Structures are given as C-alpha cells and as structure tokens.
A and B are shown apart, each in its own frame.
Chain A
Amino acid sequence: MTSNSNLSNMRRMVEQLKLEASVERIKVSQAAAELQQYCLQNASKDALLVGVPTGSNPFREPRSCAVV
C-alpha cells in the first residue's frame, strides 16, 4: 500500500532529522580558525604551495631522452 510506505518513509525521515539535530556543532568562527591553523602549520610541507629546492621535486625534472 502506497500510504504505508509513505508512512514508513516519513518515520525514517523524522528519525534521521532527529539524529542530525543531535550532532554537536561548533561555530563557523571556531571551525574557520582551526582550518586556518591547520593550513598555516602545514604550509612548509606543501610542495605545490611553497615549491621545493630545485632538483628535489622528481616531477619537475625533465625526462631523460631515450633513442627509440
């Protein structure tokens, strides 16, 4: 019966919403501060961000030529 499946769908949705409402949340300002801290702390290890000394990034080295 369609109305029975509607009912169980609705019940499931309500349960799901209750679950989501109960999740602990923090303010965006706090999350943003944590994100920023993480980025800045790890910046020096980020090769694409700061670059690496010439010769130590294997992808930046030109491929050696092979005679086919």
Chain B
Amino acid sequence: MRSPPIPEMATQEVQLSETLAHLKTESDTLKGKLEEERAKLHDVELHQVAEKVEGLGQFVMKTRRTLKGHGNKVLCMDWCKDKRRIVSSSQDGKVIVWDAFTTNKEHAVTMPCTWVMACAYAPSGCAVACGGLDNKCSVYPLSLDKNENLAAKKKSVAMHTNYLSACSFTNSDMQILTSSGDGTCALWDVESGQLLQSFHGHAADVLCLDLAPSETGNTFVSGGCDKKANVWDMRSGQCIQSFETHESDINNSSEADREVAIYSKESIIFGVSSVDFSLSGRLLFGGYNDYTINVWDVLKGTRVSILFGHENRVSTLRVSPDGTAFCTGSWDHTLRTWA
C-alpha cells in the first residue's frame, strides 16, 4: 500500500487554498456590492419623510387588568383571535389560558419542564402550543370541560436539539413555525408531527420569529444571537434577506420589510425585550428590562409615552388582534392588559 506521493498532495492543498481564496474574494466583492446598493437607496430618513405629519397628542394608557396566578417569571404570551383570551407561559412550568376581560383562568397545564419560553394560540382558538427547555413544541387541544386533564391530549409536534425559543401557528391550526436555541427555525405539520421545512442560516441561537401579516403570507422574519434578522421564504426554506443590526442579541422581531428607522433615545440604557406595533403601525410598543413600556411614534421616531406598572423586567408584549389593547408579561409573575 503506497502512500500518495508528497508533491501530489501538496498540489491538491494548493488548489484547495486557491479556490478558498477565490471564493473569499468573490464573497467580499458581493458584500461590498450589497452595501453599495443599500447605501444608494438610503436617500432619506423616515422621520424626514414624515415631517409634515401631525404629531401625536398625549396618551392616556394604563393597566386595565392584572392577571395573577403564575408562580414565577412570565416568559411568553399570545392572544386568541377572539380578542379576549390569552395564553401565557412561565418559568414555573405552567401554561395558563385566561379570559382577559374577567381575569378568570380557564385552563392550566403543567409542562414536564420549567422555563416554558414559548406559547401560541391556535387561530381557531381551540388549541395552544408551547415549549421551552424540553426542546419540543407541543400542542394541547382546549376542552370545554374544565375538569378534563389537558395533559392527556398533548401532542408533541416539533423536536429541536436545543431549547424552543418561539412558536407560532401559520394561517391555520395545521402548521406551526418554531425557532430554537439550536440555531434553526422549522415548519411542522401539527397532525403528523412531520418536519415540512427547515431554515438554516443563523450562526447562533434563534430567539424570536414573526410571520408576515398578509393572508397569502409566505415569509417570516427571525432574529438571533448572531445579531442577524433573517427574512425567509417559507416554501423554499431560503433566506431571502439578512439584516445585521443591533449591538447585541435580537430578542424580538416585527415583520417590516426593511430597517428604515432606529428607535433610540440616549436616556434609555436598558435593553428592550419585546416589541409590537399598534394596528395602524403608527405606534411601536417596547417592553424593557427596566420594568417600563416605551411607546414610540413610528413615523417621527420620537417617544410619546412611558408606562409604569410592572415590578420587574417586561419579557413579552403583544397587541390584541383588533388593536384595542396590548398585554405584557413580566418577571414579576404577572400579566397586565393596557388600554
């Protein structure tokens, strides 16, 4: 058995490094071209375009309901399409469904793991999905019979190789989109548990995702610890566009086509953990680590209000489906609805 002659191996290695160098040059050129294209199109700032728009007046928004019941930090919440029910999940391992008008708890499920970081309401209102440190996303059909043990009907849908950070049903109860600490996002068929599409491209944990709002929506955006926000085509699994932004992890994302404005104010030094737009998109609500909620005028780029109430970090924030209120969840174990 003769080992390959040394000169031949050396040639192969040289060829390899030449190809690598060539590819590196090509990729640097492309990156440069992309930056150039983007810079050319950045002809104006959003707030300049919106100069003539009437400013917003004073806002009277306060806590209207406080939902108490979780035994530890609230990590995630989602609204039901009926605009009154809410599902929330907590570090205490519990997932609770609430009637936000009356503050009554309608269902409660104890998960086999703590840190239930993600939860979502099905479009029909008949099921909820949740997961976290168990690396899974499970679906629980909701029963009208309050005495029924929900855990018995549990269906395991998604399996990741690290924690589940976010989940969302698509347009129907049939499909779920998930994001994970394993760096991927995935689309699953709820009935069979089959993986329909996986989305690779993040270099680190993916922390959040949001679907494009249109009826025929086929795209979603994900944000991760690699400081990238990626826009994906759900059918092909391809990353259509990637934005490098923020100084640290992207904890929350809202579907907008391009970064046209940055909402910041020198006096805010705490991170924002969660964001959502009002119905018309004019207001942006941000839940912060300093326990407050800041309300921004999206067009003008100015802060219009700061809301107090929570006694610890705000970890999750969502506007209701018809835009009449928004709900926040906090490390202070409670949820609040604001209007």
Contacts and interface: CB of A to CB of B under 8 A. Distances in A.
Contacts of B102: 63
Contacts, number: 152
- Tier of interface size on chain B: 35 or more
B27 A25 contact: no
B337 A28 contact: no
- The A interface, classified by DSSP as helix, strand, loop or mixed, is helix
Nearest to B320: A59
B23 to A, nearest CB: 4
B23 A10 contact: yes
Nearest to A44: B280
B84 interface: yes
Contacts of B43: 27-29
A65 to B, nearest CB: 12
Given A17-B27, A26-B41, A39 B46 contact: no
Nearest to A4: B16
Contact of A36 (B49, B279, B337): B49
B280 A14 contact: no
A23 B241 contact: yes
B41 A63 contact: no
Interface residues of A, number: 43
Given A49-B278, A49-B283, A59-B101, A28 B44 contact: yes
A22 B119 CA distance: 36
A49 B53 CA distance: 14
A14 B29 CA distance: 10
A58 interface: yes
Interface stretch (B90-98, B159-167, B177-185, B321-329): B321-329
B265 interface: no
Given A20-B34, A38-B281, A63-B103, A28 B23 contact: no
Contacts of A57: 324-325, 339
A47 B260 contact: no
Interface string A33-54: 1011011111101111101100
Nearest to B83: A58
Interface in B46-88: 46, 49-50, 53, 56, 60-61, 64-65, 84
A40 B280 CA distance: 7
A48 B279 contact: yes
Interface string B244-260: 00000000000011101
B301 to A, nearest CB: 11
Interface in B1-45: 13, 16-17, 19-20, 23-24, 26-27, 30-31, 33-34, 37-38, 41-45
Contact of B279 (A11, A25, A47): A47
Q: B33, B103, B283, B339: which has the most chain A beta carbons within 10 Å?
A: B339
Contact of A45 (B26, B319, B323): B323
A48 B317 CA distance: 14
Contacts of A21: 30, 33-34, 37
Contacts of B298: 35, 39
A30 to B, nearest CB: 9
Contacts of B337: 59
A68 interface: no
30 contacts: A3-B17, A6-B20, A10-B23, A14-B30, A16-B242, A21-B34, A21-B37, A23-B241, A25-B38, A28-B42, A28-B43, A28-B44, A32-B45, A32-B49, A38-B281, A42-B280, A46-B282, A46-B283, A46-B323, A47-B279, A47-B322, A47-B324, A48-B61, A48-B319, A52-B324, A59-B64, A59-B100, A59-B101, A59-B325, A59-B337
The 8 A-B pairs of least Cβ separation, nearest first, read A42-B280, A46-B280, A17-B30, A32-B49, A59-B339, A10-B23, A59-B325, A46-B279
